[in-house]
Structure 1
Amino acid sequence: MIFERFGGPTVRFEYGGQTFLTDPTFDAPGEYPVGGLVLVKTAPPLAPPPDGVDVVLLSHDQHPDNLDHSGRDLLSSVPLVLSTPTAAERLGGNVRGLAPWDSHLAGGVTVTAVPAQHGPDGTEHLTGPVTGFVLTAPGEPSVYVSGDNASLRVVGEVATRFPDIAVAVLFGGAARAPLLGDVNLTLDAAGMAEAARVLGVHEVVPVHVSGWAHFTEGPSDVESAFAAAGLAATLV
């Protein structure tokens, strides 16, 4: 399976005869006011928006580091967007909302929404709802896309429901925001390595670890953490 990174949380991959794209972010560097804060994008996308996307897996729509202006423009050109129910209400059109553990059949691929917790316990009213996804298809390895998740307990729940996940697209970066102080809104590198161990996956695609000023860890931190955990060979 080949994964093409575009920067931030955005990656394209082929699975079960469908082309999937996660959280589209294709804007140039700049500032984004959101909820009384200003998020700063520090790097351009690695490539322009791709053609031929069948399904966008949108973990949430309320934060510009997961859906920016160019990403929003792209949604209308894609046959299907899967996201949270609140994102479907706000975005409308071709966006289908899935509650946790609900599934949707996209071609021959079953996409199941799984929980994601965007910060420590008790912060959802500040960060808003987020979803992850598990993809399954006959003859294909199961794939987990975490979305912006900071909870290893949630990862454990996913691993219990789907014990045969082979590939994990893990969002990291140890994102932080002044509103919540010195706490992580996404997994740090050590947490990503522990998530890989809990899931028992063969491959990990780390995303959401570069391109924004509020990410407090980067790719080198991920490499070091996986090496320390004896999991360096799993990194794609």
Structure 2
Amino acid sequence: MKIRHIRNATIVIECGPYQILVDPMLAPKGALPPLKFSGGMVRNPTVELPTEAEAALQGVTHCLITHCQKGHFDHLDRAGKAWLRHHQIPVICTPHDAPHLASKGLNVQPLQLNEQGVGRFFEGQIRTIACVHGRGFVGSFMEHGVGYFIEMPGEPSLYLSGDTILTPDIAQFVVANQPAVSVVPAGGARFDFGGDIIMGVEDVLEFARISEGLVVANHLEAISHCPVTRQALASAAQKAGVAARLRIPADGEAIDVNRHVAPLMYA
């Protein structure tokens, strides 16, 4: 398995014959509106796509969406929708998001989930894990979405947390299942009011403490309401003694997961 970080929450997972694009935000720098009134009304994304993005997209076979409604363009923007429509990429999503995505003309393949949120995923299985995309008043405006726990034959188990803060339920899930690799947001995003709507430095450090696997941080230095920098997170991880288990990829960087963790022989 390889994970290529594209930008923000957009990644490409190479898993056997499949290359799965997750939460595509493909707009050029500054093409999307600001997310905060304070701080100069900076437009988004704040950086261009990396040069590696074009080649990575050429190999994509499927797309996986964690959440996309209520204006969450940083996980699926107009450019991402247009690209998916043009290439007729199968878009895997929850039953909740399927009608919305189908209305945009996408090739939707909703997951068939049982009451426990578990379904088939190619030759393996996928499980949905509830997200808490902010609490209180600000949380009432958010599309909370899901994270995914993916188990494939001969591959490391993979947890894509989606946009969430670290909740007791997520911590309990991590301790009980110990994903071989987890991809978590780290930008500490917040609006002009309310608290964090995704994990920030302290949540990521705590996640790395309770996880025995590799932790990959994303949602950094690409959206105007995410104040955490890669350097600040790396420095904090070093001081906390978890730097060896935490990867903070640059835009365009690929991580060969198999070099860091052993595969899970899913049956």
Class of the TM-score when normalised by the shorter of the 2 chains = 0.7 to 0.9
Secondary structure at 1:222 match in 2: helix
Aligned partner of 2:48 in structure 1 is 44
Unaligned runs of 5+ in 1: none
CA–CA distance in structure 2, aligned partners of residues 4 and 234 of structure 1: 17
Superposed, which structure 2 residues align to 1:1-236 within 5 Å? 1-33=1-33, 40-46=44-50, 47-48=53-54, 50-62=57-69, 63-76=72-85, 77=87, 79-92=89-102, 93-96=107-110, 101-121=116-136, 123-159=138-174, 163-178=177-192, 181-201=193-213, 203-236=214-247
**1:99-149 superposed Cα distances (whole Å, 9 cap, x missing partner):** 784233232131221111111256543102311111102222211001111
| Contact preservation (8 Å) 1:119, 1:151 | no
Bigger shift: residues 106-115 or 5-14 = 106-115
Secondary structure at 1:21 match in 2: strand
CA–CA distance in structure 1, aligned partners of residues 156 and 14 of structure 2: 12
Superposition misfits of 4+ residues, deviation over 6 angstroms = 34-38
Is the radius of gyration larger for structure 1 or structure 2? Answer: 2
CA–CA distance in structure 2, aligned partners of residues 139 and 189 of structure 1: 32
Relative to its length, the structure with more strand (as a share) is: 1
| Contact preservation (8 Å) 1:98, 1:113 | no
CA–CA distance in structure 2, aligned partners of residues 234 and 84 of structure 1: 30
Post-superposition shift, 1:36?
10
Q: Which amino acid aligns with 2:156?
A: P
Cα RMSD over matched residues? 2.6
| Contact preservation (8 Å) 1:152, 1:191 | no
**1:21-61 superposed Cα distances (whole Å, 9 cap, x missing partner):** 21111111125359997763211111236023233221111
CA–CA distance in structure 2, aligned partners of residues 175 and 44 of structure 1: 19
In the superposition, relative to structure 1, how do residues 36 and 51 fare at CA in structure 2: closer, same or farther (>3 Å)?
same
**1:185-220 superposed Cα distances (whole Å, 9 cap, x missing partner):** 11002211211222322x121111121111111211
Post-superposition shift, 1:182?
4.4
Looking at both structures, which has the greater relative contact order when contacts are Cα pairs under 8 Å and sequence separation is at least 6? 2
In the superposition, relative to structure 1, how do residues 95 and 75 fare at CA in structure 2: closer, same or farther (>3 Å)?
farther
CA–CA distance in structure 2, aligned partners of residues 171 and 83 of structure 1: 19
CA–CA distance in structure 2, aligned partners of residues 74 and 222 of structure 1: 32
Q: Which amino acid aligns with 1:80?
A: P
CA–CA distance in structure 1, aligned partners of residues 35 and 238 of structure 2: 37
Using the aligned pairs only, state the percent identity: 25
**1:50-73 superposed Cα distances (whole Å, 9 cap, x missing partner):** 023233221111311111122112
Bigger shift: residues 95-104 or 183-192 = 95-104
**Structure 1 length normalisation: TM-score?**
0.86
Unaligned runs of 5+ in 2: 248-267
